[in-house]
Amino acid sequence: MGETAEDFVLVINSGSSSIKYQLLDPESSVVAASGIVERIGEDDSVIQHRADGESTERREPIADHTAGLRLVFEMFAATGHDLRREGVRAVGHRVVHGGEVFYRPTLIDDDVAAAISDLSALAPLHNPANLAGIESARALLPDAPQVAVFDTAFFHGLPAAAKTYAIDAKVAAAHGIRKYGFHGTSHEYVSGRVAELLGRDPGELNQIVFHLGNGASASAIRGGRPVDTSMGLTPLEGLVMGTRPGDLDPGIVAHLARSAHLDIDQIDTLLNRDSGIKGLSGVNDFRELRRLIETGDEAARLAYDVYVHRLRRYLGAYLIELGGVDAITFTAGVGENSPQVRADALAGLARFGIEVDPAANTAENRAARRISPPDAPVAVLVVPTNEELAIARAARRVVDRLD
């Protein structure tokens, strides 16, 4: 390959027990290598590294994120990229919660790292893990600029009526309670791609984007700016997800505490890990759910119906909020790969100009594409998301400004 490591951005998405990474050129989108370290802190940790079309796997105990990242660098060196010697243009970190403080890609120094740590109260499951990745990368690549790209950033400017929860305003202000929204990097990237694909100015489009992965969220975007989104203070709100319920009567929390005698951490676990599709059907992977449905499993059928019902509820709400829509787009694991979900979410809406062409919807095609009939008033699209590329580009822009 022609490029040297210095042209590349290393993108790190650090979770509580995993590190996903990609080394890519933000200009050409060429991915030099990618991989994932899983089960950090356990005895059976594993790293899978992909470079030049070849996959390598290593299983050994990995004590913490720094040890994990050190192993990542070893794998890079073994596949022709000695990042610690050659350097990289930047390291881009996905950070889940930027709170009110961060709404732009931000160069990380000690103060920024401390502020990300302070935001852990808002995202206790995510920000500490993101920070572990940041601290490890800063220690191992001390000369590389490190940039934080926040999942909440795109939604920073949500209109007050959309972001305000109707609770005691003083309590809300004291505790940073508002809708922040997540998956912002994906919603921004995908809505930008939609405008490109349609050959339209983003400023003149009303869009609804469904990011349907393990986590799932919807956004309503007018003229390139979000006017509403389904996730809230935390990623629990909104659509039904793999293991999260999405919208709930908040009274359920108090009821569980009083009647089921669950403490707050148990309730948090129930809602984050044991609810959603998994809570209803026992599985959280959509492919397994479909298999169960095909065997006649009624719980799986109900889980699917609840999932689609919620999608349609948000679709209806956002159609009205936007006063009409030009494009509806599906992205992420389920959105990109399940024609059934797309068809069911939009069934029976021809009177609103919303139609899915069955052949286009089910065609084996991994590219960004339109799946509505060419003459339908509303464009329905499938657009693969690429959060790593968006983070790499954002990091690159920050670093270019330093030169």
Binding-site ranges for ligand ADP (CB under 6 A):
213-215, 242, 285-287, 332-334, 337-338
For ligand ADP, the closer of residues 73 and 286 by Cβ is 286
List b or e across 128-141, with b for residues whose CB sees 16 or more CB atoms inside 10 angstroms: ebbbbbbbbbbebb
CA angle in degrees (0–180, nearest 5) for 73-75-76: 60
For ligand ADP, the closer of residues 105 and 215 by Cβ is 215
Burial of 32 (0-12, 13-18, 19+ CB in 10 A): buried
Q: Is the dihedral of CA 239, 240, 244, 247 positive or negative?
A: positive
Taking the C-alpha atoms of residue 219 and residue 221, their distance in angstroms, rounded to an integer, is 6
Beta-carbon contacts of 256 under 8 Å, excluding residues fewer than 6 positions away, are 262, 267, 270
- Indicate if 7 belongs to the active site: no
CB of 289 to ligand ADP, least distance (A): 8
CB of 276 to ligand ADP, least distance (A): 10
CB of 216 to ligand ADP, least distance (A): 8
For ligand ADP, the closer of residues 46 and 376 by Cβ is 46
CB of 380 to ligand ADP, least distance (A): 18
Which residue has its beta carbon closest to ligand ADP?
A: 333
SS (HEC) of 162-204: HHCCCCCHHHHHHCCCCCCCCCHHHHHHHHHHHHHHHCCCHHH
Which two three-digit tokens encode residue 393? 């580009």
Q: Which of 7, 151, 228, 326 is catalytic?
A: 151
For ligand ADP, the closer of residues 33 and 212 by Cβ is 212
CB of 332 to ligand ADP, least distance (A): 4
Taking the C-alpha atoms of residue 265 and residue 328, their distance in angstroms, rounded to an integer, is 37
Helical H segments across 119-263, by residue range: 127-140, 160-163, 169-174, 184-198, 251-259
For ligand ADP, the closer of residues 66 and 214 by Cβ is 214
For ligand ADP, the closer of residues 164 and 272 by Cβ is 272
CB of 143 to ligand ADP, least distance (A): 31
Beta-carbon contacts of 145 under 8 Å, excluding residues fewer than 6 positions away, are 89, 90, 91, 107, 395, 398, 399, 402
Provide the annotated active-site residues.
151
